[in-house]
Amino acid sequence: MVSRVIPVDEFDLVIFGGTGDLARRKILPGLFRRFLSGQMPAGSRIIGAARSELEGDGYRQMIADAVAEFGGEESRNKKGLEAFLKQLEYVAIDARGEGGWSDLAAIVRQDVVQAFYFSVAPSLFGDLAERLHTNKIANAQSRIVVEKPFGRDLETARELNQTLAAHFDESQIYRIDHYLGKETVQNLMAVRFGNVLFEPLWNNHYVDHIQITVAETVGVGGRGAYYDKSGAMRDMVQNHLMQLLCLIAMEPPGQFEADAVRDEKLKVIRALQSIDHHHIVRGQYDAGPDGPSYREDAENPRSFTESFIAMRCHIANWRWAGVPFYLRTGKRMKARSSEIAVVFKDLGHTIFEGDEARHRNILAIRLQPNEGIDLQVTIKEPGPGGMRLIDVPLDMTFADALGDGAEDVTDAYERLIMDVIRGNQTLFMRGDEVEAAWAWTDPLINSWEARNDVPKHYDAGSAGPEDAMMLLHRDGRKWREIKG
């Protein structure tokens, strides 16, 4: 398969926090891949801006090292790397002071696409936004990219939105959620809205329930102190899982255009019902052979923060009335796996004698590993022995489907950055979406904090606390297996 690379317009991309972990691990290696693919025009420049004073080629060396460490196969392309590094610049800058701003103003051009990636702590967003204007660097067409966490509750998210809105129009703000940049997530929209097969079944007449699982094997070690102030609800559900839920549940937008898509997502969030606390299970991992317990990792022996959460949600609208959406996410689980499963209803009547087993169609959308979609269908078991039914997957693993071009499946970050340069906001969260998501999660968090709810224990390397299993068992259902 020949991959089609559509070059973007010439740009200057400034990465504030250009020496940080995210820039070195994801942003720069991703941009290097886009450079190699031919998508980045020759005159474009990437300008790292951070606190450190770096001598001479110090930044280029730092990024060469980062690409070698995190860039995968492509990092072996020495000639390509040399050419890429030539498009890199660096400015030492103080977000809170005046140092470095005139240097940046002298470098950034006004006649190409301008994007400013705020890969720094959110407490610096306001300073950066203001200084970009007082130093006459940004203009009415500039774009800014902001990272999660976007607030820690409705109030702080509103403040952040107001801070950014004081300097930039909503059409210039790109709130990144890398889950939306995944190939499968976009394919979910293609499957839903590009086929006649699924949409007629995509409702409470045919769908029994939907499961969304984001399981990680890593613990919080290393960033335990930060995580302990956040927890799985704030860190994962309020953003990633809710975005996936929106894409699964939204009405077809009138067109595939940023605000049309985001209007429909917003309606889903606003239609989410509040959840009774009996339908939320919070957990903390115990110590296991591979590492310490959550409380040890968080260095907080009395922590009540959840490293796992499972919940049953309902969307109050005609399409989804009565259909449970089960969400779960956790750390130190048995496998690294992210999946959305649409579980269809049982047949009303079976004509196959002796077929007691329940055969259900399941559409499983795998985000990781092996991005792809499979549809579980029932067929006759091949061979003699009568009409015995078995379930088999119709598998569309993108790596297989794309053959030799599989390695071209663009990483979420690089795809999203190219969308910023193109000025396409479809896969970015709008300010009102983020606020609506917090408006739904805040009361749930406040409620368990007021009750001093103690998270349940779970074994590291398991599928979470027993109570999470019960959440579905009580409804006569069960979670899908977490498979890596």
Q: Which of residues 64-83 bind ligand NAD (CB under 6 A)?
A: none
By the 10 Å C-beta count (0-12 exposed, 13-18 middle, 19+ buried), 423 is classed as middle
Applying CB under 6 A, does 160 fall inside the site for ligand NAD? Answer: no
When the beta carbons of 7 and 20 are compared against ligand NAD, the nearer one is 20
Applying CB under 6 A, does 119 fall inside the site for ligand NAD? Answer: yes
Applying CB under 6 A, does 27 fall inside the site for ligand NAD? Answer: no
Residue 350 and residue 151: Cα distance in Å, rounded?
A: 51
By the 10 Å C-beta count (0-12 exposed, 13-18 middle, 19+ buried), 324 is classed as buried
Q: What is the nearest approach in angstroms of ligand NAD to the Cβ of residue 23?
A: 6
Q: Assess whether the previous peptide bond of 369 is cis (omega < 30° from 0).
A: yes
Q: What is the nearest approach in angstroms of ligand NAD to the Cβ of residue 120?
A: 4
Question: Of all helices (H) and strands (E), which one includes residue 293?
Answer: none
- The one-letter amino acid code at 262 reads R
Which stretch in 20-28, 167-175, 249-257, 421-429 sits in contact with ligand NAD by CB under 6 A?
20-28
Q: Which of residues 33-52 bind ligand NAD (CB under 6 A)?
A: 50-52
Tell me how long the chain is.
Answer: 484
Active site residue 349: no
197: left (phi over 0), alpha (psi -120 to 50) or beta: alpha
Residue 103 and residue 105: Cα distance in Å, rounded?
A: 5
- The one-letter amino acid code at 460 reads A
Applying CB under 6 A, does 224 fall inside the site for ligand NAD? Answer: no
When the beta carbons of 45 and 148 are compared against ligand NAD, the nearer one is 148
When the beta carbons of 145 and 373 are compared against ligand NAD, the nearer one is 145
Applying CB under 6 A, does 19 fall inside the site for ligand NAD? Answer: yes
Which stretch in 141-149, 192-200, 334-342, 434-442 sits in contact with ligand NAD by CB under 6 A?
141-149
Q: Which of 209, 240, 277, 278 is catalytic?
A: 240
Q: Where are the alpha helices (DSSP H) in 38-153?
A: 58-70, 78-86, 101-107, 125-134
**109 secondary structure, DSSP code:** -
Question: Of all helices (H) and strands (E), which one includes residue 6?
Answer: none
Q: What is the nearest approach in angstroms of ligand NAD to the Cβ of residue 151?
A: 12
Which stretch in 59-67, 118-126, 280-288, 437-445 sits in contact with ligand NAD by CB under 6 A?
118-126
Q: What is the nearest approach in angstroms of ligand NAD to the Cβ of residue 148?
A: 5
Question: Of all helices (H) and strands (E), which one includes residue 456?
Answer: strand 456-458
Applying CB under 6 A, does 53 fall inside the site for ligand NAD? Answer: no
C-alpha angle with apex 336: 419 to 332, nearest 5 degrees? 120
Applying CB under 6 A, does 223 fall inside the site for ligand NAD? Answer: no
Q: List all residues 6 or more positions away from 40 whose beta carbon is below 8 Å from its beta carbon.
A: 7, 8, 31, 34, 87
Q: Which of residues 85-104 bind ligand NAD (CB under 6 A)?
A: 93-96
| 17, 231, 253, 330: residue in contact with ligand NAD (rule CB under 6 A) | 17
Q: Which residues bind ligand NAD (CB under 6 A)?
A: 17-23, 50-52, 93-96, 119-122, 124, 147-149
Residues annotated as catalytic are: 240
